[in-house]
Amino acid sequence: MEKIHATTILAVQHNGQVAIGGDGQATMGNYIAKSNVRKIRKLQDGKILAGFAGSTADAFTLIERFEEKLNAHGGNMKRAAIELAKDWRMDRYLRRLEAMLITVNKDELLVLSGTGDVLEPDHQVAAIGSGSMYAQSAALALKKHATHLTAEEIVRESLNIAADICIYTNHNLVIEKL
């Protein structure tokens, strides 16, 4: 059975605001399996937002583990991310997961990968998934040249640009902000 995958997730911190968004498309091989998947989750009573890209079941496993780490570390997002990354590298089951996460709170933006990376991206812009480079490029340009836009507006416009270019990204967007 083919894995369901492909998406674009983008997070932006801009002018004291933070927003994260994702498209709704999931593909299986060369066809669209679902067009309205919700890949953004509110955690810790809405204080932390997370977006995932990759195999859906794997991503849900990571979100659940991340929530467990958040609870164990009193909602400290960076500490929870580091602990999840350690487990992800060391645990035989987790090592095989094919997904990535972006997590944000009002102060931090982190990218978590299966190689044990917990990255704080440059320029307060992070993107993962098949359309990530399109969305990230657009967001960086908008942050630089359209400084009047909100973080949410930058995320929305950048994801729409990615959806116009990437065949694995659609215009069914979910955007959350803090």
Residue stretches of the annotated binding site: 163, 166, 169
Write the single-letter amino acid at 21: G
Residue stretches of the annotated binding site for Na(+): 163, 166, 169
7 is catalytic: yes
Torsion sign (Cα): 132, 173, 7, 170:
negative
| DSSP states of 41-55 | EEETTTTEEEEEEE-
Residue 111, helix vs strand vs coil: strand
What angle do helix axes 77-90 and 56-72 make, rounded to 10 degrees? 130
What angle do helix axes 132-145 and 151-165 make, rounded to 10 degrees? 140
Which of 7, 8, 27, 103 is catalytic? The answer is 7
Q: Identify the CA nearest to 103 among candidates 67, 71, 146.
A: 67
CA-to-CA distance for 16 and 32, rounded, in angstroms? 37
Q: Could you list the active site residues? A: 7
